[in-house]
């Protein structure tokens, strides 16, 4: 009988871990709406006014038209997120950002999208790799480390991305890449050098003034989940409670 109780406790512990690992979604947007719908002002803040920030074909889209003027910029920032370096509770010690980079268009553009002051993707578009397709090179920068690696992706197809941030490390994964796949390592940030909270920024810049430029997201989710140590403590606490009740 005791063996069965112990086994049951073990199963419950695994179940607890699995359920806790899903965490809590603190920000989510699937960008559903009719073409030309403005970004939801309760979720997003438009940081610049050049060009347009709209929801088109169920994608969050930043668009800069060809006006012949250089250095046009537009960006949006999420209003809610999790600060992974100074969490308000132990359960906020592990943050997960995921979504789909749906498409990039335009022969030339540059800009960035990422988690403010923590992870930044600077992109450059061009028909140069290979010559007959618009490929995109993403230079990934983390905190004060500068560039930690690059991804090369097809600029016309969707790519799922995942950014995992803990108080000490980062892991960045992008699907269907030509080069690069997963980047990971310690970020070296402190609460004093990181002050972006958990906001997600999407920013586009057109500095040639020669062609239309756009960048879109198909979906975005920001989630906070307990770090492994916290998960273990919570599971052990559950086991202790069961044992106490049994006694």
Same domain, 82 and 121: yes
Same domain, 144 and 241: no
The beta-carbon contacts of 184-187 under 8 Å, at least 24 apart in sequence, are 185/142, 185/148, 187/118, 187/142, 187/143, 187/145
- Tell me phi and psi for residue 67, to 5 degrees: -115, -5
DSSP one-letter code for 39: P
Same domain, 171 and 239: no
Q: HSE on the CB side for 33, CA within 13 Å? A: 17
Same domain, 57 and 126: yes
Q: What is the pLDDT along the chain (247 residues), one digit of tens a residue?
A: 545 444 443 443 334 334 445 788 989 999 998 899 999 999 999 988 888 999 988 899 998 887 777 778 889 999 888 887 887 777 777 889 999 987 777 666 677 888 888 899 888 765 544 545 567 788 899 988 889 998 888 877 888 999 999 888 999 999 888 777 899 999 988 887 887 678 899 888 877 666 777 888 899 999 988 876 444 434 433 433 344 445 5
Q: How many domains does the chain have?
A: 2
Q: Tokens 């960045």 label which residue? A: 172
- Nearest-Å Rg of the Cα atoms of the chain is 21
Paired with 112 in beta bridges are 122, 203
Distance of alpha carbon 33 from alpha carbon 231, whole angstroms: 37
Same domain, 203 and 247: no
Q: Tokens 């049994």 label which residue? A: 246
Same domain, 9 and 60: no
The domain in which residue 2 lies consists of 1-23+227-247
Same domain, 19 and 54: no
Same domain, 201 and 119: yes
Handedness of CA 25, 26, 31, 34 (dihedral sign): positive
240 contact partners, CB below 8 Å, separation of at least 6: none
pLDDT at 235: 42
pLDDT at 44: 95
Structure tokens at 166: 């803990």
């Amino acid at each position: 009988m005791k063996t069965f109780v112990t086994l049951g406790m073990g199963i419950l512990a695994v179940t607890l871990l699995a359920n806790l690992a899903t965490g809590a979604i603190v920000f989510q947007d699937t960008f559903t709406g009719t073409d030309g719908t403005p970004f939801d002002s309760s979720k997003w803040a438009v940081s610049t006014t050049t060009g347009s920030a709209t929801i088109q074909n169920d994608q969050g889209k930043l668009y800069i038209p060809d006006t012949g003027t250089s250095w046009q910029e537009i960006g949006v920032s999420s209003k809610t997120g999790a600060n992974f370096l100074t969490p308000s509770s132990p359960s906020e010690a592990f943050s997960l950002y995921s979504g789909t980079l749906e498409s990039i268009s335009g022969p030339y553009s540059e800009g960035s999208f990422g988690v403010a002051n923590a992870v930044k993707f600077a992109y450059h578009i061009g028909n140069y790799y290979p010559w007959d397709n618009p490929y995109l090179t993403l230079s990934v920068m983390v905190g004060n480390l500068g560039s930690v690696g690059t991804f090369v992706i097809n600029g016309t197809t969707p790519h799922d991305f995942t950014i995992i941030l803990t108080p000490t490390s980062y892991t960045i994964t992008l699907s269907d890449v030509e080069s690069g796949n997963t980047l990971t390592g310690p970020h070296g940030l402190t609460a004093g050098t990181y002050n972006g909270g958990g906001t997600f920024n999407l920013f586009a810049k057109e500095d040639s003034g020669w062609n239309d430029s756009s960048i879109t997201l198909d979906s975005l989710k920001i989630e906070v989940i307990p770090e492994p140590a916290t998960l273990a403590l919570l599971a052990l606490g559950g086991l202790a409670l069961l044992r106490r009740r049994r006694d």
